[in-house]
């Protein structure tokens, strides 16, 4: 009978780092090995590092090895950990939703700046394609008096968003509705935020396996040229906009020029500008809707 000597935490981390190191640089592999172990031990990374000489039981070593194997197969770390931080808040994520990205925090920032520059007692903010609820819930956290409506075409995504709303004690501040873009929204919006699917179809094959295989296709696929959803959203803005409304729509770094051309063609009279992100890349198109005579 083969009896395995229990390994200590340092040994386990060294072999996990070796496994992960086949798919990523060493420093990243070691960090992720530590984060995955903290997750398995239900503790913090700091505690893992403080316990390097302690042994790990086979009951914990086995699920840890399984999680390391998942990561080595390119499953995103956030899906394995089940969490992702966004705008300082902790979101539950799984394969039903896109993992919220750092660059999307810009939508929150721009909407908050807009509220500050044009204060209204209770602005109506809509988040189109809310996914995990990251953008709408971050806004709700900072704007308790805003009326926030979040939509998604995916019932599965909305279930995750609602779970996050409950965990963050924000369920009373955001109304989640299922449907296509603005169709399920009855109230005119003051501010619209959206991170829609915008990856051109032909680029899918070049995406990292983490994204291509594991993240929901309907969250990413922007059709032939990447603008299918954005074009339809632009077409719906005017009839749903309140007086003085503004829309912030995330785009990819190479889409700024085309986005401005689309706005000029589809919404003559609107003023549009592209905001660049912290890496100085085109990231969000802002559309100030023209005043409607009613």
Ligand X SMILES: C[S@@+](CC[C@H](N)C(=O)[O-])C[C@H]1O[C@@H](n2cnc3c(N)ncnc32)[C@H](O)[C@@H]1O
210 lies in the binding site for ligand X (CB under 6 A)? no
Residues 33-72 within binding reach of ligand X (CB under 6 A) = none
CB of 57 to ligand X, least distance (A): 37
Binding window for ligand X (CB under 6 A); candidates: 11-19, 28-36, 152-160, 283-291? 152-160
Residue 42: is it exposed, middle or buried by C-beta count within 10 angstroms (0-12/13-18/19+)? exposed
| Residue 70-109 contact track with ligand X, rule CB under 6 A, x = bound | ----------------------------x-x---x-----
157 lies in the binding site for ligand X (CB under 6 A)? yes
∠ at Cα 283 (224, 285), nearest 5°? Answer: 80
Of the residues 212, 218, 231, 275, which one makes contact with ligand X according to CB under 6 A: 218
17 lies in the binding site for ligand X (CB under 6 A)? no
Q: How many residues bind ligand X (CB under 6 A)?
A: 23
CB of 146 to ligand X, least distance (A): 17
Closer residue to ligand X (CB): 16 or 174: 174
Closer residue to ligand X (CB): 32 or 151: 151
Of the residues 17, 32, 132, 164, which one makes contact with ligand X according to CB under 6 A: 132
Do 198 and 227 touch, CB atoms closer than 8 A? Answer: yes
Binding window for ligand X (CB under 6 A); candidates: 11-19, 108-116, 146-154, 261-269? 146-154
28 lies in the binding site for ligand X (CB under 6 A)? no
164 lies in the binding site for ligand X (CB under 6 A)? no
Of the residues 151, 249, 251, 255, which one makes contact with ligand X according to CB under 6 A: 151
Residues that bind ligand X (CB under 6 A): 98, 100, 104, 128-132, 134-135, 151-154, 157, 180-181, 195-197, 218-219, 229
């Amino acid at each position: 009978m083969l009896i395995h000597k229990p390994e200590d935490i340092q040994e386990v981390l060294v072999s996990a780092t070796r496994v992960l190191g086949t798919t990523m640089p060493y420093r990243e592999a070691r960090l992720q090995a530590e984060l995955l172990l903290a997750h398995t031990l239900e503790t913090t990374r700091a505690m893992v590092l403080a316990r390097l000489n302690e042994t790990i039981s086979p009951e914990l070593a086995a699920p840890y090895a399984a999680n390391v194997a998942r990561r080595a197969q390119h499953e995103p770390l956030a899906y394995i950990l089940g969490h992702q931080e966004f705008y300082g808040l902790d979101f539950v994520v799984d394969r039903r939703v896109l993992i919220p990205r750092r660059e999307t925090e810009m939508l929150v920032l721009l909407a908050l700046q807009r509220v500050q520059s044009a204060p209204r007692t209770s602005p109506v903010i809509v988040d189109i394609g809310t996914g995990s609820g990251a953008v709408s819930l971050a806004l709700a956290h900072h704007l308790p008096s805003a009326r926030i409506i979040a939509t998604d075409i995916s019932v599965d995504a909305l279930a995750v968003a609602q779970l996050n709303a409950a965990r963050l004690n924000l369920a009373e501040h955001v109304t989640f509705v299922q449907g296509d873009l603005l169709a399920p929204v009855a109230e005119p919006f003051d501010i619209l935020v959206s991170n829609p699917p915008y990856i051109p179809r032909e680029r899918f094959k070049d995406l990292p396996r983490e994204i291509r295989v594991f993240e929901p296709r309907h969250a990413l696929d922007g059709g032939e040229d990447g603008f299918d959803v954005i074009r339809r959203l632009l077409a719906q803005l005017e009839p749903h906009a309140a007086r003085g409304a503004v829309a912030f729509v995330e785009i990819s770094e190479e889409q700024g020029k085309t986005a401005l051309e689309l706005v000029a063609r589809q919404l003559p009279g609107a003023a549009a500008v592209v905001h660049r992100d912290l890496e100085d890349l085109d990231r969000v198109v802002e559309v100030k809707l023209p005043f409607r005579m009613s």
